[in-house]
Amino acid sequence: MANATKLEKMKFILVGAGGFGEFWQKLFIPRMKEFAVPVAAVDVSEEALQCPVRNGTLDASKCYTDIETAIAENPCDFLVLVIPPQHRMQYIDVAIKHGLHVVCEKPMADTMENACLIYNKMKKAGLKVSVTVSHRMEQNKQSLNRLLDESRYGKLNYIIGRLTMKRDFSRRGADRTFEEMVKGSIPGGLLHELDTCRGLSRSNAKSVYASMWRFEPGDGSLGSSMFATVEMENGVRCFIEHSHANATELNGWAREFYRAECANGTVVIDKDTLTADCDLGFPNPTHADLPLDTDSELWDHAKIVHDFCAWVQGGPEPETSIRDNMYCCALTFAAVESALSGQTVDVPAFLAKYEKQYQLNLAE
């Protein structure tokens, strides 16, 4: 379990200082100070480089538009990439040139091809990568995961997941084609629930069917909704609802709903409320309000970076390693293919194509 002890403090450069990089500065970096500290920030935008200064993360003298100068003036152990996925490769090449490990925001890459290239490049260079599939590592989902890992309520049958948010009226993305919308939204959003289902079921996916559409109710707003059904290799079925088109926000980011139907209990995490119910009779209790796990000091991004630092320092390969993430990428990009083709996609066959083409050796 992740506790911020016994690790040597590591230094990193934050690449991407605006956008989600501000969340890093405000919410995540302060929780990492015992084991990982930023020594510089890099961004193509001068305006974005004001964020780390405004947030008290770094002095202006430590904010750069050029990564090479940032590295030359600030020796570090790893890069944290919080930039859009289509810009990853240039920084992967920089990391390799300087022998730096990488923590990468999800999705690891914009395409399955680029995920394979990153995997092979970093492996060949002997460098480590962790990917921040952060929502599955949050306290509420990890608490449910623990109950399932312990088989506390018997064999897991299926999982229902829900992230439903109210639509906004900005009409953001209105000019995107359907293909652009699918290629942006599944790796950008649905990926988290797909990967959470991998975590909860402790299995990779066998097949995926994903459906996505725009919703325009005629009030000037524009939203999009998705459903996905995933059959896992161990037989568990997962049904995911993901919508940004609704009248209400039942479950937003970090406050998702998951219902795990187990042989002896219906176990639900709804935001931060964990419950189990059973109508099978004695000796099963009819209802239990369960505590969230409290035996870790670290969750989500902080836990991912902690476990990454421990890995770099000789500890075990974490759940969010690049190797594990290749299976997340396969499921995610297979879901993209499914949403575009309208067909169910065989995920191991989808991955096998790339394993062969890029000689991946994921089992090594």
Ligand X SMILES: NC(=O)c1ccc[n+]([C@@H]2O[C@H](COP(=O)([O-])OP(=O)(O)OC[C@H]3O[C@@H](n4cnc5c(N)ncnc54)[C@H](O)[C@@H]3O)[C@@H](O)[C@H]2O)c1
Q: Which residues bind ligand X (CB under 6 A)?
A: 15-21, 42-45, 48, 82-85, 87, 105-106, 132, 134, 188
CB-wise, 48 or 200, nearer to ligand X? 48
Tell me the closest approach of the beta carbon of residue 42 to ligand X, in angstroms: 6
In the complex, least distance from residue 258 CB atom to ligand X, rounded to whole angstroms: 16
Angstrom distance (rounded) from CA 3 to CA 136: 18
Comparison of 167 and 192: residue with beta carbon closer to ligand X: 192
Q: How far is the CB of 151 from ligand X (least distance, A)?
A: 29
Q: Which is nearer to ligand X, 44 or 96 (CB)?
A: 44
CB nearest ligand X: which residue?
19
Could you give the C-alpha distances from 109 to 105, 311, 348, in angstroms and in order? 9, 22, 19
CB nearer to ligand X: give 45 or 273. Answer: 45
Query: To the nearest whole angstrom, how small is the minimum distance from the Cβ of residue 208 to ligand X?
Result: 20
170: tokens are 């900005």
Query: Quick one: 147 or 309, whose CB is closer to ligand X?
Result: 309
Among residues 306, 151, 147, 165, the alpha carbon closest in space to that of 226 is found at: 165
| Shortest Cβ 172–ligand X spacing (Å) | 12
Q: In the complex with ligand X, which residue's Cβ is closer, 160 or 254?
A: 254
Distance in Å, CB of 110 to ligand X, minimum: 9
Q: Which is nearer to ligand X, 104 or 156 (CB)?
A: 104
Two tokens, residue 39: 């020594």
| Smallest distance, ligand X to C-beta of residue 109, A | 10
